[in-house]
């Protein structure tokens, strides 16, 4: 068997015991246990396409060397592995990653219905910006920032994952259009000259979702109760915030001036007007209080314990 492996650690092309499916997005991700070291990993599987290795696998395995506290660690990329599916032998590629035991932010907000106070929102937003700053410094744009792609490790630290659509400086073109409701306007139009600026826009949408407990600021070109909130956000911003306060039955003070300023500067319609990460890090809201590592871990443990009782 011809096998090409990109690996930080030599695992001798070992087999894994599949425990369960973790995600069913574009490519399935499984919880896998290694009999060799008895540890758990996340295994992302890419079936061959027309007898060829998936282009999405080839893109994601470029990021095997990324090392940052807020970016998921890729441990191994293997281009060819024979596998069995529905009784038939198939060819797959796989990527082995660290396992983020506490799931993702979509599950946290939408399924478990965990609410985050302002300090928690800021803590996680700072971690997201920290991770994006690292990626951007390496010439990488993630291109699909959304709650589903933000994981929580055993210490409840945020980890950015899923790089199969990511852009590396020098690539001829971007390979994806982001995810509906989280993507920047230029991705909707199919023409993105500044991929890193698109990440900033998506990070702002995530910030809004964390702040509001899962509510989106807009639904792209769709209307809500006859209102185009996306158009309003860019062209009648004071009304946008007033409407959201009413719809969410919150006082205007919930969206305080510091928060609105940060969100607005990250979601400018034109990418060239959008805030850069150094601008974000200077804002008053960003520099408010956050939780320390032990505080964060203890608070999130209590929230999940209360939710399960």
146-182 per-position pLDDT tens digit: 999 999 999 999 999 999 889 988 887 777 789 999 9
Angstrom distance (rounded) from CA 179 to CA 182: 6
Q: Distance (Å, rounded) from C-alpha 219 to C-alpha 199?
A: 18
* Residue 224 three-state SS: strand
Owner of token pair 């980890």: 159
Query: What architecture is the 105-308 domain classified under in CATH?
Result: Orthogonal Bundle (1.10)
The list of the chain residues with pLDDT below 70 reads 1-14, 86, 309
Prediction pTM value: 0.91
How does pLDDT run across 219-230, given as a tens digit for each residue? 888 888 888 999
Catalytic residue of the set 144, 162, 164, 199: 144
pLDDT at 11: 46
Candidates 296, 262, 301, 299; CA nearest to 282 is 262
Tokens of 97: 């990653």
Task: Enumerate the domain spans of the chain.
Answer: 5-98, 105-308
CB 108 within 8 A of CB 152: yes
Q: What is the pLDDT of residue 97?
A: 93
Residues 52, 129 contacting (CB under 8 angstroms): no
* Residues paired with residue 46 on neighbouring β-strands, in sequence order: 93
User: Does the annotation count 144 as an active-site position?
Assistant: yes
Name the β-bridge partners of 77: 6, 95
pLDDT of residue 10: 42
pLDDT at 95: 93
Task: Look up the CATH superfamily of 5-98.
Answer: Phosphorylase Kinase; domain 1 (3.30.200.20)
DSSP state of 83: E
Angle between helices 118-137 and 293-308 (to 10 degrees): 120
């Amino acid at each position: 068997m011809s096998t090409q492996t990109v690996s930080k650690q030599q695992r001798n092309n070992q087999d894994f015991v599949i425990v369960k499916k973790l995600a069913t997005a574009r490519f399935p991700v499984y919880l896998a246990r290694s009999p060799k070291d008895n540890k758990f990993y996340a295994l992302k599987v890419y079936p061959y396409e027309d007898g060829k290795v998936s282009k999405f696998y080839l893109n994601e395995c470029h990021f095997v060397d990324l090392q940052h506290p807020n970016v998921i660690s890729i441990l191994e990329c293997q281009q060819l592995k024979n596998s069995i599916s529905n009784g038939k032998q198939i060819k797959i590629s796989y990527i082995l990653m660290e396992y983020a035991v506490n799931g993702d932010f979509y599950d946290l907000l939408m399924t478990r219905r965990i609410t985050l106070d302002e300090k928690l929102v800021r803590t996680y937003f700072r971690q997201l910006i920290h991770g994006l700053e690292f990626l951007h410094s390496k010439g990488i744009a993630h291109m699909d920032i959304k709650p589903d792609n933000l994981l929580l490790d055993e210490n409840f630290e945020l980890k950015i994952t899923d790089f199969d659509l990511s852009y590396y400086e020098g690539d001829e073109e971007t390979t994806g259009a982001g995810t509906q409701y989280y993507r920047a306007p230029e991705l909707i139009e199919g023409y993105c000259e500044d991929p890193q600026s698109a990440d900033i826009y998506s990070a702002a949408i995530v910030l809004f979702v964390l702040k509001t407990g899962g509510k989106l600021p807009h639904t792209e070109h769709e209307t809500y109760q006859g209102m185009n909130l996306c158009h309003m956000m860019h062209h009648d911003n004071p009304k946008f915030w007033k409407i959201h306060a009413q719809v969410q039955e919150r006082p205007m003070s919930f969206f305080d001036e510091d928060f609105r300023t940060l969100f607005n500067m990250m979601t400018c319609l034109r990418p060239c007007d959008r805030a850069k990460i150094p601008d974000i890090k200077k804002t008053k809201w960003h520099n408010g209080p956050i939780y320390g590592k032990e505080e964060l871990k203890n608070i999130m443990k209590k929230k999940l314990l209360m939710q399960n009782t």
